[in-house]
Structure formats: C-alpha cells, structure tokens
Chain A
Amino acid sequence: MRRWLLPLGLIALLLALWQVACSTGAIADALNLESYLVPSPTEIASSLWENRGLLAENAWVTLQEILLGIVAALVVGVAFAVLMNRWRALRDAAYPLVVASQTIPIVVIAPILVVWFGYGMTPKVVLIALFCFFPITVNAFDGLRSVDPEAVKLMRSLDASRWQRFWRVEAPTALPSLFTGIKIAVVFAPIGAVFAEWAGSSSGLGHLIQFDTAYFQVDRQFATVAVLAAMALALIGLTTLAERRVVTWR
C-alpha cells in the first residue's frame, strides 16, 4: 500500500504545484510567455478528453509500430544471440561490432530510412527494431553465456542432445536476462517511434506532436506526451507480468 501511496502522493503534489503556478500565471510571467503556451494540468486533461478520438487513432498507429519493431528486434536479436553463442568465430567477429554499433546515434538514420522505405510504417518499424536490437541481443547473449558449465556436463552425462541441452538448460537460464533486455527495449521503443515519425510521417503520436508545434497547441502536445508515457508504462507492466508468468522459478 505504502509502495503505491507515496509515489502517487508525490505525483499529486507536483500536479497541484503545477496547477497553482499556472493559474497564478507565475510560470508564464517568468518565461515571458502567453499563458496559453503554459497549459495547466486541468487544461491538459480537458485537451486529452476533447481530443480523445484523435489521440486514440494516432496512438494505435504508434503502438503498431512499436509492437512490430519490438517483435522484429526480438526475433532477429534472439536468433543472433543464439548463433553467437553457438559459433565462437561469429561471436568474436560480430560482438565487438554489435557493441560498437551503439556509438551510432540511431536517430540520424531515421531520414535515411524514410528515403529508402518511404512514409509508411516500414521505416518506423525498422528504426524501432534497430533501437531494440542491442539491448535484446546483448542481454540474451549474456544470459546464454551465464549457463553453468557444470550443468552442461550434467546434461551431457544424462544423454542430452545439443538441442535438448539448449531447450532444457540454456534457454531457461537465459530467460530472465532476456526479459531484462525486453524491458529496456520497451522503454526505448516509444522514443524510436517518435523520432521515426518526426523524420517523415502522416500519422502517429510523434507526428501529432510535430504538427502541434507548428500551431502552438501546447496543451495537446502535453496530452500526447501523457498518452505516449502511459503506453510505455503499460508495455513495461505487461512485460513484467509476462516475465512473472514465464519465469516462475525466481
């Protein structure tokens, strides 16, 4: 109870402070801005309600991009981790590359992806997958590598084939670590989606934020950010739930 009450209380307090600062015009005065550019929580809430249809429509687009991107990263990343774990030469060749690839700001690839794949869903999915590939691959690989060599000996002695060793020892050992990777990916994915949509799109929450910037619709921008944050939180929650259902031995 306390675990929930304290952070919720803090959120309420911050919102209240924000509300007071806006209604007295303190922030707008300090920043020397028109008051409509500094919306209060209640104004944001009413914008959220008035634009619910529009927000839901665009949230659905972004959610699809995120889910497809994560699934693509999951398939490719896990396969890659398994192959690197299986073939030492591939690991030695590719692992430094995978780590070094993190120095590339993936955001800058977004316009290139638009050039290659157009304005549809594909460049978004590719960019999100690129964002998510690293945490998933590295965590899955580390998980596979953490397999107890004694357990492998035991399985060999108990007549396990390589395949059985993988499914009965290596894969379950790697699962908790893989979930850690998925959770990081889930946090990254909405960021990737927004950047991808900024590079060129006709719908999605990122597109909506960009559109509203041009028309100074700051209240709707905040509402959009709230939806995006809620979506990310829901995805993390779902991943944690899935982890609890699958990794029952921790």
Chain B
Amino acid sequence: MRQDIRMEPESRESQTVEIPPPRQAPADAILLRGVDHAYGELQTLEAIDLQAPAHGVLGLVGPSGCGKSTLLELVCGLREASAGTIAVGDATASGERLACCAFMPQRDLLLPWYSAIDNAALALRNQGMGRREARGAAAGLFERFGLEGFEATRPDQLSGGMRQRVAFLRTLIAGKPVLALDEPFASLDAITRAEMQEWLAAALRTDPRTVVLVTHDVEEALYLSDRVAVLSARPARVVAEIVAPAPRADDRDAAVTDSAFVAAREEAMRALREGSR
C-alpha cells in the first residue's frame, strides 16, 4: 500500500527542482467519524466527527492539554484510535495513513547533525533518493522560500523563523497529500509568528495541500484555515465548527482586522471559553 502513494522514479527525475506533486486526493481528503481515544484510563477524545476537503485547511483549536496533538497524530497514523474510523483519502489503516501524511511536530526537531538542506531533504533520502539528488530537489525550494545561502548551515546557526521554514519545507518535500502541522509557530515571538503565518499562507496558495493545523491561537487558526474546529477541554469534543471568512486579504494585518474576521474570532473565542469549562 505504501508504494502507490510514492512518486514513480521517472516523474521524480523530471521534477528535480519542483515540489513533488501530491497524489490526487478524493473529495473528502480527511474524514473522521466517532473517533474516541484514551491513554489507559484517561479519555482524551470523545466522538470526534471532522472532515476536510482536498486542498482545504482544517484548523484545530482547543485549551492546552485537550488532546489536539493526539488527534493530529491519529490522523497521521502515528496512533491508533480506541473507536471510530479515520480515513485519509482511501487510507484507513494507520500504516496507510502514515504513508499519506507528513507530520510537522511542535518543536521544529531539525536534526543538529544535518545541514539545513539535508534536514529539508530528509524524506527524500528516506524514500531512497541519493544525497546529491535529494539536495538538488530541495535546493529549488530553498530559493523559492527565501532560504538560499543557508543550505549548508547547521540548524543551531539558524534563526527561529528560518528553522521553522526549513521544518515546513521538510514536511512539504515529503510529497504527501496531507500536511499535519502541530502548533508550527508556537515557539516564535509575536512578530516572527505573524511573518511566518503570512509566509505559510502564501506557500499554501502557490502549492495547495490538504492541511490539518493544530494551534492554540484562534487568530492563527482562522487566518490560515478554511474551517476551524473548536475542541473542548479533555475529553475533547468538537464544540463548534467555524467557517473562516473568505476571501481573506493576503496581507495579514488587513485580514485579521476585517469585520467578518473579527466576528468569527469572537465566535471561536466564545466557543473555546464555553468548551473550557
């Protein structure tokens, strides 16, 4: 099952500087029905129903420790649900979902023994590509995402924003139809975070993917997502689903001060407060 989502070798060669094209996703790229999860006795998720269309961005917000990250790991196939069904495209078994999703963990987790470009190209290397080829494939993206000149730099020499960009590229380059982002900008200062949100929005406009975005920042969720699911405190249930106002301005400041956006944010905050009780 893993093979069918991988790119054919010949298509990979012709695409050395482009992002590998994701597999065509069916109408509902992600579908969760009645998903429960528990760590032993501790119930973390309760009857979660969620869906996201192909190339849609689904935001997940909720109080800290509510199980957002667990939910994301379930979608990615990194965990098994206690009950319910999870489908990513046609993939339902966890091993198949794992093959369809690229996971970006909370901390950037760049490997300190690899240069920035080798970190970004990690998935290609794992998929069996040679080092030079993999670097070639990643180099084009470094240019496109404003990281040129930092290819050989070790992660500890990069700024927080750059590390996050490399971590995102690493996720993107994996060539999976679904990107699972776990609080990608939580560790950044407010200004860098705003810049990175703008950057990510632009990156997804030029290269649309199905994205599940976990965050505790309602504004970030609404700015980046098409739809935001608000989760309650543990055990997490979906207490509200809020459609992000569209179209949004490319400029983040303009987008978040728009009256429809402000109204949506208030609604989400209200749901979050109620769900936290």
- Check A172 for interface membership: any CB of B closer than 8 A: yes
Taking CB atoms, residues of chain A closer than 8 Å to B2 are: 159
Q: Which of B103, B127, B156, B174 contacts A153 (CB 8 A)?
A: B103
With an 8 A cutoff between CB atoms, is A249 at the interface? yes
Tell me the A residues contacting B by CB distance below 8 Å: 148, 150-151, 153-161, 164, 168-169, 172, 248-250
Chain B residues numbered 40-98 whose CB sits less than 8 Å from any CB in chain A = 73, 76, 78, 98
Q: When the two chains form their complex, are residues B113 and A248 in contact, meaning their CB atoms are under 8 A apart?
A: yes
Contacts of A150 in B (CB 8 A): 105-107, 109
Q: Is B154 a contact of A154 with CB atoms below 8 Å? A: no
* B147 interfacial by beta-carbon distance below 8 Å: no
A154 / chain B contacts, CB cutoff of 8 Å: 103, 105, 109
Which one of B98, B112, B113, B180 contacts A156 once the chains associate, using CB atoms below 8 Å? Answer: B98
Known: A150-B105, A150-B109. A158 touches B154 (CB 8 A): no
Q: Assess A157 versus B156: contact at CB under 8 Å? Given A248-B113, A249-B113.
A: no
* Highest count of chain A CB atoms <10 Å: which of B106, B123, B156, B174: B123
Q: How far does the alpha carbon of A172 sit from the alpha carbon of B118 in the complex, in Å?
A: 14
The verdict on B102 contacting chain A, using a C-beta distance below 8 Å, is yes
Given A150-B106, A153-B103, A249-B113, are A159 and B78 neighbors across the interface (CB < 8 Å)? Answer: no
User: Assuming A153-B73, A249-B154, is B123 touching A159 (CB within 8 A)?
Assistant: yes
On whether the beta carbons of A158 and B113 are closer than 8 Å, the reply is no
Q: Please state if B103 and A151 are interface contacts (CB–CB under 8 Å).
A: no
> Is B260 in the interface zone, CB < 8 Å from A?
no
B221 at the interface (CB under 8 A from A): no
Give B76's nearest chain A residue, CB to CB: A157
A-B contacts, 18 of them at CB < 8 A, read A148-B109, A150-B106, A151-B109, A153-B73, A153-B105, A154-B103, A154-B109, A155-B122, A156-B78, A157-B78, A157-B98, A157-B180, A158-B170, A159-B2, A159-B99, A159-B126, A164-B126, A248-B113
CB under 8 Å from chain A, chain B span 226-241: none
Q: Is the CB of A168 within 8 A of B154?
A: no
**Nearest B-chain residue to A249, judged by Cβ:** B112
State whether A153 touches B78 (Cβ < 8 A). Answer: yes
Tell me if A249 and B156 are in contact (CB < 8 A): yes
Q: Is the CB of A158 within 8 A of B78?
A: no
10 A-B pairs closest in CB distance: A157-B103, A249-B112, A158-B123, A160-B126, A172-B113, A159-B126, A249-B113, A150-B105, A153-B78, A164-B126
- A88 and B39 CA atoms in complex are apart in Å by 20
Contacts of B111 in A (CB 8 A): 151, 168-169, 172
Query: What residues of B have a CB within 8 angstroms of the CB of A161 in the complex?
Result: 126
> 1/0 contact trace for B103-125 toward A, CB 8 Å?
10111010111000000001101
One of A148, A153, A168 near B122 (C-beta < 8 A): A168
B268 within 8 A of A: no
**B103, closest chain A residue (CB):** A157
Q: Give the chain B neighbours of A248 by CB distance below 8 A.
A: 113
Instruction: State the Cβ distance, A154 to closest chain B Cβ, in Å.
Output: 5
A249 to B78, CA, bound (A): 29
Residue of B nearest to A150 (CB): B105
Inter-chain CA distance A145–B112, complex, in Å, is 18
Which residue, of B76, B109, B154, has the highest number of chain A Cβ atoms within 10 A? B109
B191-206 interface with A by 8 A CB criterion: none
Alpha-carbon distance between A157 and B101 when the two chains are bound, in angstroms: 7
Determine the chain B residues whose CB is within 8 A of the CB of A160 once the complex forms: 122, 126
